[in-house]
């Protein structure tokens, strides 16, 4: 007999998201390079704001997020009225799918794209459509060819996770201009701050009514544990998303900490500079040891191995050395390992260990 209590169609087809591993059995001081976290952590000013928030835990948080939206607006030169804040950019992605896609609608994304696009599309009852990339890079022509009159949302992460590659502003604009009229282009800028001088697409959004951008405090701001993200786009879309946003979706601790973090752009600049330096060093060190990678624009490197077996064996060896990296078979890249750029000591350790792994074969 079938259970009369049933979820909506499609929900049970959603594969559970698996985060990067955090522990290795038997090793207490393992280095976690599996979740693209900032090894330097958040700004001291953000930590102080979090500590001060303890004094108002009995109060409900503000519902309009005005102070945080103003701080984001000042830091990025954006209109606060066109910003929405959420529980990570994951929640903004979820709002977009819930508001704009439903049964028989299509949500398009790239083949090695972020897993949340598929999960949120399916949660909304929509059909996920995965589009091939070219050399692990977003292919605008392939995306445009995949669009139909049912396409409601097209997600690209730029820079992309887990490939680390990105496409330039002219290509992004060609994509936006070529979409069917009913579709929104969502630019996921989770790693935008790692690209010096990059606006994540803000300037394009100022000129077009079909482009939206998501951003996060989880990566360069070092606040993944606190869950804060934001979106920026046309006022009409912000107005729609605010209708399904829970009024108290962000706690006062989240709001105050994020506001202090975004006001400390010196910290962001320091983290970007260190990441750029160490990323170049690690990519070259791995290449010298026979492990190639595409030029990364984010805070990780996608290391390529001969095949799935070699990637798995290297991952197992790294674990014995107390180094946790990310298998990305779930992203369609079974022969690769995604390695977050840690601090200098971590980069040296992972390069040394991969050299030993390659040498012992």
Ligand X SMILES: *Cc1c(COP(=O)(O)O)cnc(C)c1O
Q: Contact residues for ligand X (CB under 6 A)?
A: 36, 88-90, 114, 157, 161, 188, 190, 216, 218-219, 224, 229
C-beta closer to ligand X: residue 89 or 151: 89
Q: How far is the CB of 296 from ligand X (least distance, A)?
A: 13
CB of 228 to ligand X, least distance (A): 7
Rank residues 36 and 252 by Cβ distance to ligand X and give the closer one: 36
Least distance to ligand X, CB of residue 323, Å: 20
- We find the least distance from the C-beta atom of residue 186 to ligand X, in angstroms, to be 10
CB of 321 to ligand X, least distance (A): 25
Across 163-183, b (16+ Cβ under 10 Å) vs e yields bbbbbeeebbbebbeebeeeb
- Nearest residue to the partner ligand X, using Cβ: 88
Q: Closest CB to ligand X among 336 and 353?
A: 336
Per-residue HEC secondary structure of the chain comes to CCCCCCCCCCHHHCCCCCCCCCCECCECCCEECCCCCCCCCCCHHHHHHHHHHHHHCCCCCCCCCHHHHHHHHHHHCCCHHHEEEECHHHHHHHHHHHHHCCCCCEEEEECCCCHHHHHHHHHCCCEEEEECCECCECCHHHHHHHCCCCEEEEEEECCCCCCCCCCCHHHHHHHHHHCCCCCEEEEECCCHHHCCCCCCCHHHHHHCCCEEEEEECCCCCCCCCCCCEEEECCHHHHHHHHHHCCCCCCCHHHHHHHHHHHHCHHHHHHHHHHHHHHHHHHHHHHHHCCCCECCCCCCEEEEECCCHHHHHHHHHHHHHCCEECEECHHHCCCCEEEEECCCHHHHHHHHHHHHHHHHCC
Comparison of 261 and 353: residue with beta carbon closer to ligand X: 261
Closest to ligand X by CB, 161 or 210: 161
Q: 36 or 165, CB closer to ligand X?
A: 36
Shortest reach from residue 92's CB to ligand X, in Å: 8
- Which residue's CB is nearer to ligand X, number 186 or number 237? 186
Shortest CB 166 distance to ligand X, Å:
11
Instruction: Please report how many Cα atoms fall inside a 13 Å half-sphere around the Cα of residue 17, on the Cβ side.
Output: 13
Whole-number minimum distance, CB 216 to ligand X, in Å? 3
Which CB sits closer to ligand X, 82 or 200? Answer: 200
């Amino acid at each position: 007999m079938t259970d009369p209590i049933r979820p909506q169609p499609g929900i049970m087809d959603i594969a559970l998201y698996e985060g990067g591993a955090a522990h290795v059995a038997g090793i207490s001081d393992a280095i976690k390079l599996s979740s693209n976290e900032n090894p330097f952590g958040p700004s001291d000013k953000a930590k102080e704001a979090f500590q001060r928030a303890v004094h108002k835990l009995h109060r409900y948080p503000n519902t309009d997020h005005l102070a945080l939206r103003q701080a984001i607006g000042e830091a990025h030169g954006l209109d606060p009225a066109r910003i929405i804040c959420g529980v990570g950019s994951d929640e903004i992605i979820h709002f977009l799918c819930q508001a704009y896609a439903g049964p028989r609608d299509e949500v398009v994304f790239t083949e090695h794209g972020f897993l949340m696009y598929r999960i949120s599309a399916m949660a909304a009852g929509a059909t996920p459509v995965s589009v091939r990339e070219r050399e692990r890079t977003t292919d605008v022509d392939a995306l445009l060819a995949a669009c139909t009159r049912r396409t409601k949302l097209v997600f690209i992460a730029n820079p992309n996770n887990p490939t680390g590659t990105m496409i330039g502003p002219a290509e992004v604009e060609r994509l936006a201009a070529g979409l069917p009229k009913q579709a929104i282009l969502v630019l996921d800028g989770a790693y935008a701050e790692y690209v010096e001088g990059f606006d994540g697409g803000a300037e394009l959004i100022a000129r077009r009514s079909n482009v939206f951008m998501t951003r996060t405090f989880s990566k360069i701001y070092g606040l993944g544990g606190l869950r804060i993200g934001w979106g920026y786009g046309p006022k009409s879309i912000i107005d729609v998303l605010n209708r399904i946003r829970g009024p108290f979706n962000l706690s006062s601790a989240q709001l105050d900490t994020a506001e202090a973090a975004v006001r400390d752009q010196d910290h962001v600049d320091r983290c970007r500079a260190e990441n750029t330096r160490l990323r170049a060093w690690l990519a070259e060190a791995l290449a010298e040891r026979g492990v190639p990678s595409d030029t990364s624009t984010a805070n990780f490197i996608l290391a390529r191995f001969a095949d799935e077996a070699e990637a798995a064996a290297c991952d197992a060896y790294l674990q014995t050395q107390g180094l946790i990296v990310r298998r990305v078979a779930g992203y369609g890249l079974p022969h690769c390992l995604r390695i977050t750029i840690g601090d200098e000591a971590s980069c040296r350790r992972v390069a040394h260990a991969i050299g030993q792994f390659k040498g012992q074969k």
